[in-house]
A = this chain, B = another copy of it.
Amino acid sequence: MREKPLRPHLRKSAGLNASLPSGAAREAVEALGRRIVAGIWPPGATIPIEPELAQVLGVSRATVRDAVKVLSGKGLLRTARRYGTRVRPLEEWHLLDPDVAAWHGPAHPRIGRMFAETTELRCAIEPAAAALAAQRATPEQVRTLLAAAEALRPGEVDIVALFEADRRFHCTILDATDNLMMRQLQGIITTILRISYEFGVQKVDGRPVSREGHFLVAEAVARGDAAGARREMERMLDLNRAIAEAYWRNRAMAENPAGAAGGGWPGV
C-alpha cells in the first residue's frame, strides 16, 4: 500500500456536499431525503420497509440501505430491528448540514423558520468571525473581500453573479478566521443565502444588497480593525434581519391574512 500523491480528480464539485459521488446511491439519498424533509412521512412515522423502498426507487436493497445509512448520519432516520426505519423528530435533524437545509424547498412550510433561525445564528457568528478575520486575514483574503464587495453592484441584473459575490464575501470572512470550526458553517450560510436569492428576499426594499455595508466590513478587516469589523458586520446583519423579517411578514400575511402563517416567521 504505497501512498499516492493526492491529485484532485473532481475539480468542480457541483457546490454541494459530494459525500456520494456516484449515481444510484446519491439519487436514492436525494429522493428519500427530499421526501422526508417534505413531510411525506411525519416525524415518528415508520417509512416503508427496505424491499418496498427498493422497488419504489428502482434499486437494490443494498443501495436502499446505503441511502438510509447516510440519512441516519444526517439525523433524519433511526433504524432498529423489528421497529423498521422511522423518521426522527425534527429537533434531531442535522439542520446545519447543507444537504438537509437545501432539501427544504422554497415552498416548504418551515422555510421561514429556517431562515429566521439561520439569521439569528449568523448574527451570533459573523460579527465575531469578522473580528477574528481582521486580526488574521491574509492579503489575498483582503483582496477577495474587497473584490466581492465591489461586485455587489446595486443595478446588477445577473442574480447569479450577485449571489456568488455575496457568498464569496461571507465565506471568505469565515475562512479568514483560520478557525476550522467556524469554517464548518460556510455550508449552511451558503445554502441559506442561495435560498434567499432564489426567493428574491434580498431585493425586498428595492436595493439588492448592502454594498456599503460589505465595503465597510472589508475595509475594517483590511486595516486590522477588529472592533470596527465586528460593529459593521453587526450593522449589516441587523439590516439583513430587518429586511428578512419584513419580507417574511408580508409573505405570511399574503398566504394567511388572518395572522401568522403556520410554520412561518416565529414570534420573535
Residues of A within 8 A of B (CB): 1, 3-6, 9-10, 18-22, 42-46, 48, 62, 65-66, 69-70, 72-75, 78-81, 83, 86, 89-91, 93-96, 113, 117-118, 120-121, 123-125, 127-129, 132, 177-184, 188, 266
Pull 20 A–B residue pairs with CB atoms less than 8 Å apart, ordered by A: A19-B73, A19-B75, A21-B79, A21-B80, A22-B81, A66-B66, A66-B69, A69-B73, A70-B70, A73-B74, A96-B96, A117-B181, A117-B182, A120-B128, A120-B177, A121-B181, A121-B182, A124-B125, A124-B128, A124-B129
In whole angstroms, how far apart are the Cα atoms of A268 and B127 in the complex?
Answer: 18
A91 to B6, Cβ gap below 8 A? Answer: no
Chain B residues whose C-beta falls within 8 Å of the C-beta of A117 in the assembled complex: 179-182
Whose C-beta in chain B lies nearest to the C-beta of A101? B181
Alpha-carbon distance A7/B123, docked complex (angstroms): 37
Closest 5 CB pairs of A and B: A6-B44, A124-B128, A73-B73, A121-B181, A117-B179
Beyond known contacts A66-B66, A69-B70: 16 more, CB 8 A cutoff: A1-B46, A3-B46, A4-B46, A5-B44, A6-B89, A19-B73, A19-B75, A21-B79, A22-B81, A62-B62, A69-B73, A96-B181, A96-B184, A118-B181, A124-B182, A178-B266
Chain B residues, CB < 8 A from A73: 19, 69-70, 73-74
What residues of chain B lie closer than 8 Å to A22, measured between beta carbons? 81
Chain B residue with minimal CB distance to A44? B6
Q: Closest chain B residue to A90 by CB distance?
A: B180
Asked if B120 contacts A181 (CB within 8 A), the reply is yes
Chain B nearest CB, measured from A7 CB (Å): 9
Q: Which residues of B contact A178 (CB under 8 A)?
A: 266
Question: Which of A73, A80, A86: most chain B Cβ within 10 A?
Answer: A73
CA distance A3 to B41 in the complex (A): 9
A90 to B: closest C-beta gap in Å? 7
Q: Are A78 and B4 in contact (CB under 8 A)?
A: no
Contacts of A1 in B (CB 8 A): 46, 48
Asked if B118 and A20 sit within 8 Å, CB to CB, the answer is no
Please determine whether B69 and A180 come into contact, CB atoms closer than 8 angstroms: no
Residues of B within 8 A of A78 (CB): 18-19, 21
A230 → chain B closest CB, angstroms: 10
